[in-house]
Amino acid sequence: MRRANLIAKNNLSRCIATIVLYAITAIIIFPIFWMLMTSFKPSAEWVTYPPTWIPQNWTLNNYSSVIFGGNTSQGMFESSMGPYLNTFLISVIATVIGVSIGLLAAFGLSRFRDNKVSSMISFMMPRMFPPIAMIIPMMIFFQFLHLIDTYFGLMIVYVGFTLPYSIFMIKGFMDGLPIELSEAAELDGMSNFKMLFKVWIPNIKNGLMTTTLFLFVLNCQEYIFATTLAGRQIETVTISIAKMFSNQAGTFYGPQAALGMMAAIPTIIFGIIIHKSLAYGFTFGALKR
């Protein structure tokens, strides 16, 4: 009978834990849910009070204004497809370069078992410094090099500021490789370079994919450099959203939400794809697998 009580207590605590967990998750998802719903709301429902949680009259107008440009009852929109593609282009290239450079540097650290803080601090600096602190000097520097408002300039910046994540996530995955792998390759007479491509990379494919997608997500989200070092000729989605927001004093809820959803969906999908491996990636090698 004592056993039955124990089982009951166990089940009760499991129940409570499940409820609490689902409640917390619901709260966390709520903002996304709200944005999603708003993106389908007609302008009549944007500022009603109390606000409607689920649109009474679903509409796709918000999306069409954002994708094709157009006229809603209060103003004209430019098509956001240009910026969308820009963001995609810049992010993809910057990500590929970022992962490649990060890969090499991570190998330099991991293969040679360099875990000194001094070696790692310099690679962390791009992320340590508030971008705003770097903006003014960079504007001067870029002005000098004629890199303002260029794809190349922006890409370099993107590469630089995702480099710390790239290096340390990949290093973490590399540190998790069993030492026998390298020892066997050494015995086969492989040079380090060959070892990197023939042994190490194939074995961290999952980790590389995770790092790549995460870097892509980070690059898509970037705003401050895009808007200060580019922004006139080259507009990214983040700039579009900010512009739309400030141009209309933040009152075009529908289209804003629609553009927000469009910006968010790809990154959400990538996040879901890599979520398991991301957990390990964010320990940056601190855990022995």
Partner 1 sequence: MPEIVLENVVKKYGTTKAIDNVSVTISEGEFCVIVGPSGSGKTTLLNLISGFVMPDSGQIMIGRENVEKIPPRNRDIGMVFQDIGLFSHMTVRQNLEYGLKLRKTDKSVIQKQVNEIADKLKINQLLDKKPNMISGGEAQRVAIGRTLILDPPICLFDEPLGNLDANLRVEILEEIKYLHKSMGKTFVFVTHDQEQALSAGTKIIVMKDGKIMQTGHPLEIYHNPQNRFVAEFFGISSMNLIAGRVVDLGGSVGFESEGMKVKLKDDLKQYVGRRVFLAVRPLNIYLEDQMHDVSGFGTVNLIEKLGDKNLVYLKVGGDQKIVASTPPQHKYSLQDKIRIGFDADKLHIYDQEQGERLI
Partner 2 sequence: MKKKTVALFTSEKFIYKLPANVVLMFLVFVPTIIVIWLSVINFAPTQGVSLNDASFIGPGNYIDILTDQAFLAALLRTVIITAVCVVVELFLSLLISFLLSGKIAGKSILFPLLIIPLMIAPVVVGNNFWLLFSTNGPMNQIISAFAQSQVQINWFTDAHYAMIPITLAEIWHWFPLTFLIIYSGLAGVSTSETRAASILGANEWQIFKDIKLPKMKKILMIAIVIRSMEAIKVFDTVHLLTQGGPGTATETISYFLYKNGFWYSRISFISAGAWIVLLICMIIFSTSLNSVLFKEKKI
Phi, psi of 271 (to 5 degrees): -60, -45
Residue 126 binding target from partner 2, partner 1, none, CB below 5 to 8 Å by type = partner 2
Residue recorded with tokens 């690679």:
123
Residues of this chain that interact with partner 1 (CB under 8 A) are: 3, 6-7, 10
Q: Name the burial class of residue 87, with classes exposed (0-12), middle (13-18) and buried (19+) by CB atoms within 10 angstroms of its CB.
A: buried
Beta carbons within 8 Å of 80's beta carbon, 6+ residues apart: 66, 67, 69, 237, 240, 259, 262
Residue 76 binding target from partner 2, partner 1, none, CB below 5 to 8 Å by type = none
DSSP 8-23: HHHHHHHHHHHHHHHH
- Rule CB under 8 A: choose which of 128, 179, 180, 187 binds partner 2: 128
Q: Name the burial class of residue 271, with classes exposed (0-12), middle (13-18) and buried (19+) by CB atoms within 10 angstroms of its CB.
A: middle
Residue 260 binding target from partner 1, partner 2, none, CB below 5 to 8 Å by type = partner 2
Q: How far apart are CA 153 and CA 289, in angstroms?
A: 39
- Rule CB under 8 A: choose which of 8, 12, 85, 121 binds partner 2: 121
Q: How far is the CB of 68 from partner 2 (least distance, A)?
A: 20
Q: How far is the CB of 197 from partner 2 (least distance, A)?
A: 12
Q: How far is the CB of 107 from partner 2 (least distance, A)?
A: 5
Burial of 57-67, coded b for 16+ CB within 10 Å and e otherwise, reads: eebebbbbbbb
Residue 151 binding target from partner 1, partner 2, none, CB below 5 to 8 Å by type = none
Region of residue 188 (left: phi > 0; alpha: psi -120 to 50; beta: else): alpha
Q: What is the total residue count of the chain?
A: 289
Q: Establish if 88 lies at the interface with partner 2 (CB under 8 A).
A: no
Q: How far is the CB of 184 from partner 2 (least distance, A)?
A: 20
Q: How far is the CB of 3 from partner 1 (least distance, A)?
A: 6
Residue 229 binding target from partner 2, partner 1, none, CB below 5 to 8 Å by type = none
Q: Which helix (H) or strand (E) holds 277?
A: helix 253-281
Interface residues for partner 2 in 231-260 (CB under 8 A)?
Answer: 237-238, 241-242, 245-246, 250, 253, 256-257, 260
Residue recorded with tokens 């995460």:
214
- Rule CB under 8 A: choose which of 40, 63, 200, 280 binds partner 2: 280
Q: Pattern of binders to partner 2 over 260-279, x per CB under 8 A?
A: x--xx--xx-xxx--xx-xx
Interface residues for partner 2 in 131-150 (CB under 8 A)?
Answer: 131-138, 140-141
Residue 280 binding target from partner 2, partner 1, none, CB below 5 to 8 Å by type = partner 2
Q: Nearest 5 degrees, angle CA 195-CA 211-CA 271?
A: 150
Q: Pattern of binders to partner 2 over 18-57, x per CB under 8 A?
A: x-xxx-xx--xx-xx-xx--x--------xxxxx-x----
Residue 3 binding target from partner 2, partner 1, none, CB below 5 to 8 Å by type = partner 1
Interface residues for partner 2 in 190-209 (CB under 8 A)?
Answer: 192
Q: How far apart are CA 25 and CA 117, in angstroms?
A: 37
